[in-house]
Every structure is written in C-alpha cells, then in structure tokens.
Structure 1
Amino acid sequence: MRAPLPLLLLLIVGVSGVYSGHSLLYFQTMASVPGYGLQEHVAVSYLDGIEISRYSSDFRRVVPVAPWMQKVEPEYWESETRRCRSNEIKLKHNAMIELIRLNKTEGLQSIQWMYGCELRDDGSTRVYYQVGFEGTDFFILDSDQWILIPLTGQAHITTERLNGPDERLAERNKYFLENTCVSWLRKYLENAKEELERRVRPEVKVSDQTVNGVTKLHCQVYGFYPRDVDVNWQKNGIDVSSYEAKHVFPNSDGTYQIRVTAEVAAEDREGHSCHVDHASLDQTLIVKWESQSSSNTLGIVIAVLAGVLAIAAIGFIIWRISSGKKNYAQTGTSDNVGSTSASNA
C-alpha cells in the first residue's frame, strides 16, 4: 500500500494572511491499522510550500523532488536517508505504544509530526515542533521556555515525561531547530533563487451563487506565484466584507489559488468588483461582476477541491496548525512519539 501524500498539511499550515519570509518545514506522517500489521510512513520536506524532497516506507530512500535540489551534494542524500530510516523505525514503534496506552486498537490511526524553521524578512527566526494524533493537536513547543505544552488532557502524562530531566526533548532539539534548520534553509534559498523569484500572473474569474435565498459572490484567483496575494471585494470603490475565510491552496504545478466570497442581497449584486494585488502585477487587477457570469468558475473550484478531498479520504486525518496566531513558536509530539527528535529525524 502506497502512503498518500501529506499534501493537506500544506493547505492548513500558514495558508492564510500575508506571509513575509521563508520557511523550511518537515512533515512525517504514519498511518496504521491495528491488528492488520499495516504501517505506512511518509516524510516530506517543503521550502516555502514547495515540496523539495520525499521519503516513503515503500521506497525507503530520500529523493529530490524540486529540480534544483540536484545541486545538493550526494552525501546529503545518504545522510537524509539514514535519518529517515531511523525515524521510521522509531515513529512506528513509539506510535504503537501510544495507541495501546490510549486504548486506540481499532480503525485507521494516524500520527503527524511537523517541525522546522522560518526566516523572516527582518532577519528574525521562528521554530516549529508539533505532533497531531488522530486529527487533533497533541502538544506544541513553547520556544521561550523550551518546554512542551499539552493541548489535550491525554497529553499531560506525555509532556511531563518528555519535559523531565531524563528526556528534556525540547532542549535536545533546540540546536537543530535554531541552527541546523536555519542553515539548510539559507542554502536551499540560494539554490532555489531562480525558482522562488519567478512571477506568474494570476487568472481571475467571478461568479455568483444563490442557495436557500442567500446570494454569494465568488472571486476565484488561480495560477499565481508567489503565494502572497491580496484579494477583496468592493462595491463602487468601497470595500465589502468577505464572509468566508481566505485560504491559499497550492496547485500541482507549483502555483497557487484562492477563493474569496462576499455575501450580498440578491438584488444588490450590481456594482461589485473583485480587486487583486500580486507581485506579478504592475497595478491592481479589477474584475467586475456581470450578470452573464455563470457558475462555470465555481465548477473549477469544486473540481480542484474535490481532488484534494479525495486525497484526504484515502489518507490521514489532518490536524489544524495555527501558525502566526500565537506569541510562541509552535511544535509538539506525543508521548513516546515525541521521543523521536528532529535532529535525529
């Protein structure tokens, strides 16, 4: 059984709001079916939301995904392969112990571990270390105190052990997160400079939809790069509140898409326009809503999202990571799951 791509993590982590900086994030996902011996493991790394390398339990080697990763020396791939093989063994073993401790002995179980670093435009850095269990945040790292913070009642026992003098898991990973990770991030940015500096102009479509007497205006912006984008609705030059959250989703070709929706009175659609600001544009792109706008654009959105949901149906339960909304850097792990350190992962 081939482990599905942990793509949805990228749809959730840091996808809303304006982003200013660069990130290197590592994701490990383990799925198992207790009693059937099925254990699948995938480890994927992302630079600014672009998949750059991958390891899976069916292939058992780290391989480059982004073309420019070929610039990295051969020794790197051997080292990363050893690291991921070791992590796979640890994560599978410790995950089974955790499942037994929590009496989770039936159905598809999943554990997802995210760690990495971020380099802001102002030169500051931020680190991440977090584990989700069965679709729920388990605990995170407080990088001010370098201790693990439980997010569920079941995680208290785990954090007490991992914060204890015998483990000190957070402190043991401090150097990797603050130094090694940032060093690799800088190197990757240099190798990927041409790719990251490219500019792809967005396509914009507007449509309307009325359901149960509620009319919504949709602005679908797609095929753009880089990810930073500002999209909003206006009526006769005045901003209109968007009632649906703005989420930027990655496309398979490395570009992005976003849909912004405003709720209006059915008889009040005239005069509305979608305004898009992006690095590829010399000026704000304005697309007016017109009565002949059809629901075809909505079909594009539904088709894309349907593909994403299909991956989720096959894969694992995803937990929500709220990046940029807390005063401390986020990370986490689960009881014995947490014993797998980033520096050895």
Structure 2
Amino acid sequence: MGGKTTTTTTTTTTGYSVRSSADCPDCNLIYEGHTLAMPCSLAVSSLKEAPMGTRGGAWGVRGLERCGTVQRGAVPCRAVQCHAMLCHAMGPCKAVLLGLLLGALGAAACGSHSLRYFKTRMTDPGPGMPQFVIVGYVDGELLWNYNSLCRTVRPIMGWLPQEDQEHWDAETKKARDVELDFYEFLGRLQVHYNKSGGSHTLQKMIGCDILEDGSIRGYVQYAFDGRDFLAFDMDKMTFTAADAVAEISKRRWEEEGIYTEGCKHELGTICVQNLRRYLEHGKAVLKRRERPEVRVWGKEANGILTLSCRAYGFYPRPIAISWMKDGMVRDQETHWGGIVPNSDGTYHASAAIDVLPEDGDKYRCRVEHASLPQPGLFSWEPQPNLIPVVAGVVVTTVAVIASVIGLVVWKSKSGKGPDLLRIAPDMSPMLTLILSAGKEKKKSYEAAAGHDRESSVSAMVIV
C-alpha cells in the first residue's frame, strides 16, 4: 500500500466482506477493460462462483468471468495507491472508461452496428487478478474475453459459432501477441514518465462501426494512468498526441508507417469482417427491437422545478434522450443518468433538467431509439392539488357520521330506535353499519330489562 498507514474497518454481510479505509477516497478501479468509479467506503468483495456470462451488480458491467467463474477480488485503486474491492449492489457505482474511452460502448448511432475491443494492462492488479485483459463487445453486448491467467479467448454469447475453432484459435494467437506488446509498451511509458514504481495502467480501445448508409468508421485510442494518450485518425492516417511523451510514439509510428497501415487494415478490413460475421450469427438477438416505456415527472423544491424523463426496457442499447423548450434542445442544462442494463437484457436511461415552475409546461422530453419509427415527444402533466378536495370530503364525512351517531344515541334513549329504518332505505354501507350497531345495542338493553326477545324482533320486522 505504498508504505502508507491505513485504518481499515471490516463488517460482514451475507456473502460479502465490506471494507472501508479512512485514507481511501473515491477512486477508479480497472477490471476487465472497464474503469469502475466507486467510493472505497462502499467497496464489497465476493469470491462466490457464478455461471459464465453473469452480469455485474449495480456497476452495470458484464463479463467478470475468470476461467469459468466470477472472481470479484482486490483491485488496486491507483489514484491513492490503496486497495479497494469491486463494488457490488451496495454502492452507487457505474461503468465508465478512462478519458477518451468514455462512452465508447454506446458510440454507434441508432440503426448502425459496432464492434469494440477494450485492452487493459495493469502492473499491480492485486492478488489472483490478471495483469492483462481483453473484452470484445458487439452493439454494447459482451462478446468474448481473454485474460493473462487463462490465455484463451472464450466466447460468451451462446449464439457465437463455437464450432469455428479456426477463428477462435486465430483470435487467441492475436490476443497473446497483443499481451506481449502491452507489457513492453507500458514498461517504456513508465520510463518516459519517470514512474517506475507503484501501480500503472495502459488501456486501448479499438473498434469499428457500420453505419446505416453502409459507410465505415474506425477508432484506435490509448490511455495511460487514466489520461488520454494517443488517438488514431483513420481518414488522415495520423495520430493525435495528448502530451510530450505521446509525441514520441506518434513520430515513430508515423515515420515507420507500418503501424498506421496496420491500423487502417485492422479497422477497415479485419474489424468490419468480424463485425459482419458476428451480426450474421447473432442477428436474432442483436437486431431485435424493444420499444422504451417513457415516464415524465416533476418535483418542485426551493423555487426550482426538476423535470425527469426516464426510458425503461429498451433494446438495443443506444438511445438519445434530450429536453427541449419551445422546439430547441437544451443539452447544456440537461443532466443524464447514463444507460444501465436491466436483468432481462434491456436497458434504462434518464435525463433531468431544472426549470422555473412557471415554465414547466413549455418543456418536452425527446426520445430517439431504433425501435421508434420517429422520435417521441413526452410532456410533463402536473397533478392537480387534491389536498383541499380530500380535506373537504373528510370534514363532510366526519360531520355526517357524528350526526348519525348522535341521532342513534338519541333514538336509543327515547325508545324510538326502530323508526331509524325509515330514514334511508338505500343508505350507504357505512351508515347501515352504524345503525345496525345501534339496533344491536337496543336489543341488548331490552333483554336486560326483561323484555320478550321474540316480540322485540317481530316489532322490528313489522316496522
């Protein structure tokens, strides 16, 4: 733990060990190609086995498999050089990617298709955790993974061609070559940045999109220790460097030309071929459409009306939710809640905006999704204030009941109880119940006074 003194408390819940460290504030944890943003005080560890393809918990990450089982264990928290645990459903966690990788899973537009590979090398992943990981996604769905412990590409989706051993052998060989390259590359970066000790991370995202019009889009992006490093422009065949150290790699790769040509071939040919292959095998799943159910509501506090728009149960993952006022999109004022997976394979997402209460009826929530023939517009309809109405009904009801009870008591004392049945032959059940109680009370009184019970009942029936 970098020689630091830590104060750790441990409590136990069912199946999990919860740890919190006084010197470990919010930090980023990297696992299976993802960075998990979480507060260490809510970190949870579990070593339970789970079936292949098990989803993550509240962090929204799939594919935490390790050699056939899910292993959630200690992962280094680079920001403060302390250790935390993979978060479970107890913490407000969400899947994010470092720097320029942020949002890459959902980058493809509605109607298009995407293939993404996330590659991560860590110098100190923690006990029993892999130092190198690759995960592949098609349209945001986990496709296959590879790590330095198993050293074999393992298909996750059941519809993948398991019998195509030649394809998976080729993917495994490529993954092993990349693993060696990442070990060497990260070592060079540590020297250039003068960061030989501690925990360090190199990430790469490479992927392609097939757009609705058939055109191709490609991406290659690198990040070092949570910061943008290099990005490849497929059209210009050049790299964009984020700092002076990145310029070193940029110049070498562009001067040699081999790497830029390799990127172009990988993006424009290999990646596209694989994407089409996977789409063909998984078209029944990947091309299905589930319409979102949209709900809009508002909450006013301290003179501000917060309008929230939430879309439930949609598939595929890409969706666009925005708030509009008078036909104009208000993205700068909108707060998005992210796109989060549901247990049934669909997703939910939300967007909120703070407005003046008097302007609430001017706003519309716009939802665009591949399942919708055209974008939907949804407005907030404020609920009427029912408090005065309810209060009036309650007061009236109490007054009526009090009057009836008073009448029952008076009739009972005056001996005119049976005449009460003439008040309202079709009276409400509540009043009938009250009058019945009064009659029973009078029967008991008459019996105690020595009256004949049958004559009393007969008199009541005749009346």
Q: Given the two structures, how large is their TM-score scaled by the length of structure 1?
A: 0.71
For residue 291 of structure 2, the aligned residue among 191, 195, 201 is: 201
- 1:179 equivalenced with 2:269 (yes/no): yes
CA–CA separation in structure 1 for the residues paired with 2:368 and 2:102: 21
For residue 241 of structure 1, the aligned residue among 323, 330, 337 is: 330
Q: Give CA-to-partner distance per residue, 1:145-198, whole Å, 9 cap, x none.
A: 323221222211121122223x63111332222111111111111111111221
2:159 maps to 68
CA, structure 1 residues 202+138, in 2 after alignment: closer, same or farther (shift >3 Å)? same
1:327 maps to none
CA, structure 1 residues 16+217, in 2 after alignment: closer, same or farther (shift >3 Å)? farther
1:229 maps to 319
- 1:189 equivalenced with 2:279 (yes/no): yes
CA, structure 1 residues 173+282, in 2 after alignment: closer, same or farther (shift >3 Å)? closer
- 1:147 equivalenced with 2:238 (yes/no): yes
- 1:8 equivalenced with 2:96 (yes/no): yes
Q: How far does residue 85 in structure 1 lie from its aligned partner after superposition? A: 2.0
For these two proteins, the number of residue pairs brought into alignment is 291
Q: Quick check: which has more Rg, 1 or 2?
A: 2
CA, structure 1 residues 251+168, in 2 after alignment: closer, same or farther (shift >3 Å)? same
2:382 maps to 290
1:163 maps to 254
SS of the residue 1:183 aligns to = helix
Q: Any stretches of 5+ residues in structure 1 without a counterpart?
A: 293-345
Q: How far does residue 220 in structure 1 lie from its aligned partner after superposition? A: 1.5
User: 28-37 or 59-68: which moved more?
Assistant: 28-37
Q: Give CA-to-partner distance per residue, 1:15-66, whole Å, 9 cap, x none.
A: 3794442121111011223999986211011111111111122322211112
CA, structure 1 residues 85+28, in 2 after alignment: closer, same or farther (shift >3 Å)? same
Asked if structure 1 preserves the Cα contact closer than 8 Å seen for 2:106 and 2:139, the reply is no
User: 86-95 or 253-262: which moved more?
Assistant: 253-262
CA–CA separation in structure 2 for the residues paired with 1:225 and 1:97: 42
CA–CA separation in structure 1 for the residues paired with 2:187 and 2:129: 11
CA, structure 1 residues 276+36, in 2 after alignment: closer, same or farther (shift >3 Å)? closer
1:105 maps to 196
User: 276-285 or 42-51: which moved more?
Assistant: 276-285
Match for 2:214: what amino acid?
G
- 1:50 equivalenced with 2:138 (yes/no): no
Q: Given the two structures, how large is their TM-score scaled by the length of structure 2?
A: 0.55
CA–CA separation in structure 2 for the residues paired with 1:67 and 1:116: 22
Matches within 5 A, 1:261-340: 261-269=352-360, 274-281=365-372, 284=376, 286=378, 288-291=380-383
Q: How far does residue 123 in structure 1 lie from its aligned partner after superposition? A: 1.8
User: 42-51 or 142-151: which moved more?
Assistant: 142-151
Q: Any stretches of 5+ residues in structure 2 without a counterpart?
A: 1-28, 35-94, 385-463
Q: How far does residue 14 in structure 1 lie from its aligned partner after superposition? A: 6.0
Match for 1:219: what amino acid?
C
For residue 120 of structure 1, the aligned residue among 200, 203, 211 is: 211
- 1:251 equivalenced with 2:336 (yes/no): no
CA, structure 1 residues 151+238, in 2 after alignment: closer, same or farther (shift >3 Å)? closer
User: 177-186 or 197-206: which moved more?
Assistant: 197-206
**Percent of aligned pairs with the same amino acid:** 33
User: 238-247 or 216-225: which moved more?
Assistant: 238-247
Flag the structure with more relative contact order, 1 or 2, with Cα contacts below 8 A and sequence separation at least 6.
Answer: 1
CA–CA separation in structure 1 for the residues paired with 2:306 and 2:30: 40
CA, structure 1 residues 250+63, in 2 after alignment: closer, same or farther (shift >3 Å)? farther
CA–CA separation in structure 2 for the residues paired with 1:218 and 1:105: 47
Asked if structure 2 preserves the Cα contact closer than 8 Å seen for 1:210 and 1:216, the reply is yes
Q: How far does residue 290 in structure 1 lie from its aligned partner after superposition? A: 3.4
CA–CA separation in structure 1 for the residues paired with 2:215 and 2:163: 25
User: 113-122 or 69-78: which moved more?
Assistant: 69-78
2:310 maps to 220
1:332 maps to none
